[in-house]
Amino acid sequence: MWWTWGARLAFDTLTLDRQELVLKRAEPIAPYTTFGIGGPADVLVEVYTERALQQVVREAISTRTRWLLIGGGSNLLVGDTGFRGLVIVNRIEHLSVNGARIVAGAGADLGEVVEAARENSLSGIEFAIDIPGTVGGAIRGNAGAFGRSVGDISTRVRLLEGTELVDRTPAELGFAYRHSNLKLNDHIVVEAEFQLQPGDRSEMDRIMGQHAAQRARRKEKGLHTAGCFFKNPILADGQKVAAGQLLEAAGAKEIREGGAGVHAYHANYIVNHGGASATEVLRVAREMKRRVEESAGITLEEEVMVVMDPTRDGAV
């Protein structure tokens, strides 16, 4: 994000046609997020090519316009008054398989990478089945499940750093639990390469089936949620504790505020049951956090990226 205020939001100099870039003004952000929450963006552009992304970012930098990048919007809570500035929706979706490597545009669904791996009997990414969102969002947050994460299998990540395209190694990205250095800067993932291994298709199907069945118990399909709201805390002795279990034990499942409430099947999910505001979601989150602090003495840390403006969205 480019944090300068007072944006000049003409963007009339953008020269690309609709196959590369679609620009909308005063566009509600809610439909671009899985929470289904979020007021209008001053300007929203959907970019379909690397060239379009570069041109939009160059324009944003030269007009000192702040931006918010959205992939699948599955780890994002945007305020009810929306975003003053530019929202860039990444739709760079190319995908190719070269031997045991898969190269995907950052706007491709992670699920499509998983399916391409399955079709080509390439093993190593089975853990990612049913994780929503794009490749870019997954790289930034080092998305994962079942003890593995995308940082374990990525070999090269192409970034837009300012207006320069640069290839980075996983070591340079500093992957850790639900973390990469991309959380510390405004660099944009453009493409990622994943290294997999030739695998046995029926064994892969079996493992993916097991993972999918385990996830299905959470009854998460079609929910307006951003998945786990809090990270699993890591204790002083290095032990990782499931935030969902702490929340369950703290009685979080009964918490409800207007249209927002804790999911009946997973105590770390907040659900928009219909018409919830971002403020209601944050009130639920605050109460969840309070209960775990009180019952376990542990302060949970948010996993979901919250984009709100306290002066406009009001106090929580």
Binding-site ranges for ligand FAD (CB under 6 A): 34, 69-76, 90, 106, 131-134, 136-138, 140-141, 143-145, 182, 188-189, 220, 225-227, 305
**What secondary structure letter does DSSP report for 298?**
-
CB of 131 to ligand FAD, least distance (A): 5
- What contacts 245, CB < 8 A, 6 or more positions away? 267
C-alpha dist (Å) from residue 116 to 274, 280, 293, 310: 35, 39, 43, 42
- Which is catalytic among the residues 66, 91, 118, 178? 178
Instruction: Let me know if 193 is a catalytic residue.
Output: no
| 158, 228, 257, 280: the active-site residue | 228
Own/partner long-range contacts of 251-258 (Cβ < 8 Å, ≥24 apart): 251/291, 252/287, 252/288, 252/291, 252/292, 255/284, 255/287, 255/288, 255/291, 256/284, 257/281, 257/283, 257/284, 257/287
Catalytic residue, from 20, 27, 50, 303: name it.
303
CA distance 151 to 142: 6
Parallel/antiparallel/unpaired status of strands 101-105 and 95-98: antiparallel
Give the end-to-end CA distance of the chain in Å, rounded to a whole number: 23
Q: 93 vs 293, which CB is nearer to ligand FAD?
A: 93
Least CB distance from residue 140 to ligand FAD, whole Å?
4
Mapping DSSP to helix (H, G, I), strand (E, B) and coil, where does residue 130 land?
A: coil
CB of 241 to ligand FAD, least distance (A): 16
Residue closer to ligand FAD, measured from CB, 78 or 292: 78
Residue 228 a catalytic site member: yes
Closest CB to ligand FAD among residues 39, 136: 136
We find the least distance from the C-beta atom of residue 75 to ligand FAD, in angstroms, to be 3
303 catalytic, yes or no? Answer: yes
Q: Which is nearer to ligand FAD, 10 or 234 (CB)?
A: 234
Shortest spacing between CB 9 and ligand FAD, in angstroms: 19
Residue 180 · residue 142 · CB < 8 Å: yes
Residue whose CB is less far from ligand FAD, 143 or 284: 143
Please identify every residue annotated as catalytic. 178, 228, 303
